[in-house]
Amino acid sequence: MMDKPLRGRPLATDQNAISARTTEPAFIARPVGAPVYYGFVVLDDVVVDGFTLGKITDFEAGTCGTGDAFVIAPNGSRAGLVWEVCGKPYFEEVSAPEVGRVGSVGRRVAVSYD
């Protein structure tokens, strides 16, 4: 099992985000009052009807067919997205909203490229 090194997806971290602890990145140690998904890149140029996309998986750093992202609503609330590239687009709920959960709603979104 340890023959192959563990390999993850590249993270899209915001290099300007300030961590609450110098030994950890900002997305792990959010400052008090920082929104969920703080420390990840917000794509200010990807806005549709007031909703802004943020990326957790850095899909521009390498080839990947799945990943994580988030969306910021016009009212500032945020929700997590799980996405994958596939043949037939679909949208389904991963988990329902929960009080006290980081993020508000988990969603799975698929995008198809021809």
Count of domains observed in the chain:
1
Say whether pLDDT at 17 is over 90.
Answer: yes
Say whether pLDDT at 18 is over 80.
Answer: yes
- Rounded Cα distance, 89 and 63, in Å: 19
| More reliable by pLDDT, 89 or 41 | 41
Any domain includes 21: no
Any domain includes 55: yes
Q: Give the pLDDT confidence score for residue 92 in this predicted structure.
A: 80
Any domain includes 60: yes
Any domain includes 26: no
Q: Give the pLDDT confidence score for residue 30 in this predicted structure.
A: 94
Measured in residues, the chain has a length of 114
- Rounded Cα distance, 27 and 39, in Å: 4
Cβ neighbours of residue 63 closer than 8 Å, sequence gap 6 or more:
none
pTM value is 0.80
Q: Which residues span the domain enclosing 80?
A: 41-111
| More reliable by pLDDT, 87 or 113 | 87
Mean model confidence pLDDT for the chain:
83
- Convert the pLDDT of each residue in 52-90 to its tens digit: 999 999 988 878 888 999 999 999 988 888 888 888 887
Q: Give the pLDDT confidence score for residue 23 in this predicted structure.
A: 95
